[in-house]
Amino acid sequence: MQFISTRGGMQPLPYCDTLLEGLATDGGLAVPEQLPQVSAEVLESWRELTYPQLATEVLGLYATDIARDDLERMCQAAYSNENFPTEGVVPLRPIDGGLTLVGLSEGPTLAFKDMAMQFLGQVLEYALAQRGSVLNVLGATSGDTGSAAEYALRGKDRISVFMLSPQGRMSAFQRAQMYSLTDDNVFNIAVDGVFDDCQTLVKNLAGDLDFKKTHHLGAVNSINLARITAQSVYYFWAWLRATDAVDTASRAGFEVSFTVPSGNFGNILSGYFAKNMGLPVRRLVLAANENNVLDEFFRTGIYRPRAAEQTLATSSPSMDISKASNLERFIYDLVDRDPARVVQAWRDLDEQGYFDFSSQQSRFADEFGIVSGTSTHADRLATIQAVYEASGEIIDPHTADGVTVARHHVESGVPMLVLETAKPEKFQETITEAIGVTVSLSEELQAMLEAPQHVVDMNNDEQALRGFIEQHAATL
């Protein structure tokens, strides 16, 4: 299995080389030359596997340059009982209205990002040891990516982490989870701006090939293909669990739908990969919050990111994103894998502030199976309250965005699975506002909230960031 760039300027690379590159050398994103295919027979043969075993099978279709024994060991370590103490790793929990939550927040940072990051930490360390190299991870977070990356990479040899976050734009819990870490290889940088400003800094430095090479820069944001492939595993897991009760003769081709709270388009892209690998998926429903640039795109075909000052601070802050990095991978398929048309789309975006695929909009649902919707703060509060009253389940505000939008896309006879984003403990203020309940915290979490925080405040200044990395980068 080889990987190429959406912009056509990168020689095909194997899996490990691709994940160490992060952003492709031509500024594009890595995609498989061809998606691997999973037949109904193979899918059914996976039904009795544990989650680590399933991850080995799915990721083994991509990571063909990793020895099977090594991949199995890494998947067992990533999805261990220590990291994911809940039985089965990813539980499915029914709520009201016939919806089912896919429990993706059982990991060390209580967010779905752990599902990919724990594997990424394993495979990065493996790849660097194989090559005798180091990696300086440069990332941007709107909330949960940062902590998941830092917890997966803290203390690891050959790796330093430089994580940018927007000042004042995350919950108190999210800030504490990141800034309380004291590991020597973790550097938190709070940028005076919004998430898109952080993301732009990351892209600018990753696009400077001399700087990237000199300082061994890599990425753990969802531009890293390993994140996308690892996340696709739980779509297969959820389908297998959702169809356990279906008559054996009817399982082949039995469709389910997934609703995915989305800001950067990475999580739903993983479902898109799974669907195109052969997983029977009826609909992929994108749920946006008030920063609904992606919803506008899938409703109209026009992609028009907003300026930083127009990006709203909401009660589902991890989705307060205007420029969705992973959309480029979908555009690549939309233009029939023509790199020149991808480059033209981004040239249009730079020159006029938008690009227009309205002539292709009907294909989004009909051919690709993607539909979308928007949720507001009032919707989140009402949904958290309704779910709590009906089932006793407390959901976080991002998951509430998903449940809100999912209700508009339920189809008779098609199970609707909503991907959980995080545990409610991370967003106490919104939970209290919605249902008047204080979510109890463990002694460990309470101590984390009260611990001293370690963070460097920085202006939205590319040169300042370059200087900081030069001073603190891991070296050979």
Burial zone of 261 (CB within 10 Å; 0-12 exposed, 13-18 middle, 19+ buried):
buried
260: region left, alpha or beta (phi > 0 left; psi from -120 to 50 alpha): beta
Q: What is the DSSP annotation of 197-260?
A: HHHHHHHHHHH-HHHHHHTTEE--STTSHHHHHHHHHHHHHHHHHHTTTS-GGG-TT--EEEEE
Do 112 and 419 meet the contact criterion of CB atoms below 8 Å apart?
A: yes
Give bridge partners of residue 166 from the DSSP assignment. 191
Compute the Cα dihedral for 302, 307, 312, 316 and give only its sign: positive
- Block residue for tokens 């060390």: 108
What is d(CA 454, CA 189) in angstroms, rounded to the nearest whole number? Answer: 9
Six-digit token string for 108: 């060390």
- Block residue for tokens 């997983």: 279
Coil, strand or helix at 99: strand
Six-digit token string for 160: 């330093």
Do 19 and 120 meet the contact criterion of CB atoms below 8 Å apart?
A: yes
Six-digit token string for 233: 């595993």
Q: Among this protein's residues, is 323 annotated catalytic?
A: no
Give the catalytic positions in this structure.
Answer: 113
